[in-house]
Amino acid sequence: MRKILTRDGSETLYSEEYQETYHSVTGAVEEAFGKYVKPCKIESGMNVLDICFGLGLNSLAALHTAKEITITALEKDENVLRHEVKVPEYLREDYKKIRTAAENLYYKDDKAEIKVLLGDARETIKQLNEKYDAVFLDPFSPPKNPELWTEEFFINIKKHMKKEAILATYSCARKVRSNLSKAGFEVKDGPCVGRRSPSTIAIA
Ligand SMILES: C[S@@+](CC[C@H](N)C(=O)[O-])C[C@H]1O[C@@H](n2cnc3c(N)ncnc32)[C@H](O)[C@@H]1O
């Protein structure tokens, strides 16, 4: 894995294994806010499921937006959790909390709680016994990371969402959207961030 500086000044990683970057090179932090936090309407009091925690930038954007928040994050790669990246100055205090969560798989203060479940998300999702207000779905692309874009996985995600809860993902691939629909989600265009095509929001 090597670091890449994205165009908003924040860093991401390039995965040799998947031959993809962890975020859009147009802006890692911009993507976290624009494609995940904003469409999911993150606000204080929410219970958020972050599927594919990676460097934790989507969780970071959520934590910065809503100080009182509970986040459960799923990630299979222990190695990525050790990587620290550059984030803008205004996010540094919250990033320390994300780093603690990444290192200890847990962080808690009087307002926020973050749990990281290590393992294949198809299995760890079955261990969840809560319902979520918002879900961030951020695997590598469907051709490279197909197991997390299936109808079966989407059905398991939906079981853990409150009614009308929003799932956000960057992909607008036809197959992804049709699997979301088959799993019972209402599928809509999400915002266009850093490119012409929209992201996707799916309502439970
Ligand atoms: C595009 S990156 C996520 C970027 C992340 N949201 C961030 O802010 O850095 C995809 C992540 O999904 C993880 N991943 C891939 N397949 C997985 C699986 N089956 N279960 C859990 N995590 C998986 C990878 O290890 C990687 O960290």
Give 76 Cα–ligand 1 centroid separation in angstroms: 7
pLDDT digits (tens, 9 = 90+) for 14-23: 999 999 999 8
User: What are the strands of the beta sheet with 132-137, ordered from one edge?
Assistant: 106-108, 112-118, 69-75, 46-51, 132-137, 161-169, 200-203, 186-189
Along the chain (204 residues), what's the average pLDDT of each consecutive run of 10 residues? Answer: 91 93 90 95 97 97 95 97 95 97 97 97 96 98 96 98 97 96 95 82 97
Contact between 12 and 85 under an 8 Å Cβ cutoff? The reply is yes
Q: Whose CA is nearest to atom 1 of ligand 1?
A: 22
Round to whole Å and give the CA distance between 133 and 179.
Answer: 21
Residues with CB under 6 A from ligand 1: 22, 52, 54-58, 74-77, 80, 120-121, 138-140, 145, 147-148
pTM of the predicted structure, to 2 decimals:
0.96
Give the ligand 1 atom nearest the CA of 136: 6
Give 193 Cα–ligand 1 centroid separation in angstroms: 20
pLDDT of residue 24: 86
